[in-house]
Structure 1
C-alpha cells in the first residue's frame, strides 16, 4: 500500500477515535465550587455547563456582587478542568500524528 494510502487510513481511524472521544467527553463532567461551597458548577468535558447551584443562604440581595463573583470563579474553574481533560483525551489520539490543527 502506498504511503499516502496508509496516511489516509490512519487519518480515518484517528477521526473515528476523535468522534468517539468527543461523545465520551460530552457525557463526562467535572465539578467546581467557590465561596466555601455556596456555589457549585458542573461542566461537561465538551466545554458546556451542565448545572449551576447556589445555596439559598448566599442569596442576600446585599451580597449580589459577591454571589456573581463566586459563580464566575466556580464556572471558570469547572471549565478549565473540563478543557484540561478534553485536551488530554484528544492528545492521546493525535500524539505522533503531526498535522496542523490537530495538536
Structure 2
C-alpha cells in the first residue's frame, strides 16, 4: 500500500505543479508583428490577446485590406510565439517526469 500512497502523493504534487505552470502562462507576454512592425499584437503564453498596435500610416481607407491582412499575420505570429512559450514553460515543469515516448500532455 505504501507504493500506492507514494504514487498518489506524486500525482497530487504533479497536479499542483501543472496548475502553477498554467497560472504562470497568463503572466508571460510575447509580441507578434507584421509589416515590419507596423502592426503588433501582444498576447499571453495562453493565447489571450493583451493589445493590438497599428501604425498611423496604415489608417487609410484604401489600405483596409492590407491592414486586415497584417493584423491577421501579427495575430498568427503572436499565437505561434505564445505556443512556443507555453511549450517551453511546460517542458520545464515536466522535465523530471518519466513520461512514455510520444506522450503529450493536454496543454
**TM-score interval, normalised by the smaller of the two chains:** 0.7 to 0.9
What's the Cα RMSD here? Answer: 1.9
After TM superposition, the score normalised by the length of structure 2 is 0.84
Q: What is the CA–CA distance in structure 2 between the aligned matches of 1:102 and 1:6, rounded to whole Å?
A: 21
Aligned 1:4-83 pairs, distance under 5 A = 4-83=4-83
Segments of structure 2 that go 5 or more residues without pairing to the other structure are none
Deviation at 1:19, TM superposition (A): 1.2
After TM superposition, the score normalised by the length of structure 1 is 0.87
Deviation at 1:91, TM superposition (A): 2.2
Question: 2:99 aligns to what?
Answer: 98
Q: What is the CA–CA distance in structure 2 between the aligned matches of 1:91 and 1:11, rounded to whole Å?
A: 17
Deviation at 1:66, TM superposition (A): 0.5
CA distance 1:7–1:101, change in 2 (3 Å): farther
Segments of structure 1 that go 5 or more residues without pairing to the other structure are none
After superposition, what is the alpha-carbon deviation per residue over 1:33-87, rounded to whole angstroms, capped at 9, x for unaligned? 1112110100101111101111111111111111111111111111111111111
Secondary structure, in 3 states, of the residue corresponding to 2:43? strand
Secondary structure, in 3 states, of the residue corresponding to 2:26? helix
Secondary structure, in 3 states, of the residue corresponding to 2:80? helix
